[in-house]
Structure 1
């Protein structure tokens, strides 16, 4: 069993020294630090730790607010770790999923979260019923009356909200779209993005096309990214996946890439489940020749 520490502060003007000392004193053999707001969903360091923990490993934090944005987020992270055979421990809170007491505390938290959701639903339904009894109908009066100005206002608000969401997620998808479209099909670009960000919500072809189309409309992307890709070769898909894995973590060894492919249940070119490092090396070389890795390195240097 290995103790893996996670330290976070919300700004790089502060440091994680105090957290690192506590984590080290608790026996953590490795400590990962991240500078990000607790309200941010996209935290690459945390996502990587949760996506591929060692079996039996324990993710350790000083306090739970260093890890989670909310109770539901905390439960989601712990469930993901438990599904992979790993555990979670907070030094300043009574949560340690390696012990019966810690698991009991977790069950109480889960029940509390469900109770809060049930209360919110009940209050919402009661409020709507009370409004109907008093002759009031919920919703926007302008929309109910089909007022053009009200409809246009809501539409503009939805567009702004959608663009704001895309802009927050741009670090996930925009570099890959700029680099690989239209040279690679949308399916391959999606695989590259998902392999680079294993802890994030998976992208789909339709979702990525909509995002790119929106940025093209706002002239933040060249229109050519929407062009049809040339006919793909039989193993273009594998090249795209391996290029995505390697470019997201250049320090990964051939053996680690092989293990990642096996964890993804990605078959070898011969349809086998077990990957050899020689096969990974061959495909990496082909990816470089195809420009999938060379252009990534050049892009990062700019």
Structure 2
């Protein structure tokens, strides 16, 4: 069975009619329609369309960009279709994963996506190493300044308040105050 999926961007003046006509002409017995951005990960109708697929079915779109805006999302979506035992076909780009050339094309796209992810990871790791060498502190900013930490320690040592009270006073969690005290005790040993 051929299952169609048509999408236009939310708030756009696009007409979904030509997509519906092309999908019906391609033999789609059911067509899922959606008004959502291609960048949205929570496209309900796409999820319903993939969920309705049975082994041997084919999900058909008018154009590849109607299914996804990014290669990464496209590959993730295609994995879902493959997991259902179904195929995929794009009418405009003539991609059909039910044929050997179509599967080859998707595997090539997958290889490029994997290469892209590896390059991004390599650049990220290089940037982090460079930042560490330059002496930059990475990660979240501390919720307390050094002066605030010292004041918490002084208050507890003077018996002026519990960790819960100090947490409320400094607008941090109780566990943050307890961590400050634990670190102080470790240094004092």
Structure 2 regions of 5+ residues with no counterpart?
147-189
Alpha-carbon contact 1:11-1:37 (below 8 Å) kept = yes
The structure with the largest strand share of the pair is 2
Deviation at 1:53, TM superposition (A): 0.7
CA RMSD of aligned residues (A): 2.3
SS of the residue 1:4 aligns to: strand
CA gap of 1:145–1:56, structure 2 versus 1, over 3 A, is closer
SS of the residue 2:24 aligns to: helix
Deviation at 1:139, TM superposition (A): 2.8
Alpha-carbon contact 1:128-1:138 (below 8 Å) kept = no
Q: Larger Rg: 1 or 2?
A: 2
Tell me the equivalent position of 1:103. Answer: 103
Tell me the equivalent position of 2:39. Answer: 39
Structure 2 counterparts to residues 147-296 of structure 1, below 5 A: 147=145
Between Structure 1 and Structure 2, how many residues are aligned? 145
Normalised to the residue count of structure 1, the TM-score between the two structures is 0.44
Could you tell me how far apart the structure 2 residues matched to 1:79 and 1:131 are?
Answer: 36
Q: Which has the higher contact order (CA 8 A, sep 6+)?
A: 2
Tell me the equivalent position of 2:88. Answer: 88
CA-to-aligned-CA distance 1:193-238 (integer Å, 9 cap, x gap): xxxxxxxxxxxxxxxxxxxxxxxxxxxxxxxxxxxxxxxxxxxxxx
Alpha-carbon contact 2:2-2:57 (below 8 Å) kept = yes
Could you tell me how far apart the structure 2 residues matched to 1:132 and 1:83 are?
Answer: 42
SS of the residue 1:98 aligns to: coil
Normalised to the residue count of structure 2, the TM-score between the two structures is 0.68
